[in-house]
Structure 1
Amino acid sequence: MNDAAKDLAAKIAAAERERTVWAEGRKVFRAGGPAALNPHSLRSPDHALWAEGFEAEREATKAPVWSE
């Protein structure tokens, strides 16, 4: 496999991982509602991806936003 093919394969794998983390956020919202907690470290890239999926599901279901 040449370098371009290896680079493409790595990018595809990274995109699949990101999609999985995002989808996990959506799934957790459906199961736990707005009070569910993000399992990823605040400084990790997965934290933001998970939160984006979570918020996408909140918007899709038009659930109320709970304030503290």
Structure 2
Amino acid sequence: MMNEGFTMHVRKGDIVTAGQPLVTYNRVQVAQAGYDDTVITIITNSGNFSTVEPQLNKQLRAGELAVIVER
């Protein structure tokens, strides 16, 4: 698995807060390595939340919310 150019900021079991970086990556390095730079977010415990609202059909910029999650 390629991890050059990636930095993980959280680990399994961590509790995250709104606005906390989860992962950062260097788009140039990813593209130069021939990989797609699409980011996929998976919420495996969505049943624990009252709201899981992905921001669909939007071109998001760094810092914008990709998914609204509420307990």
Structure having the higher Rg = 1
Larger strand proportion of the pair = 2
Calculate the TM-score normalised by the size of structure 1. 0.27
Larger helix proportion of the pair = 1
Greater length-normalized contact order (CA 8 Å, ≥ 6 residues apart): 1
Calculate the TM-score normalised by the size of structure 2. 0.27
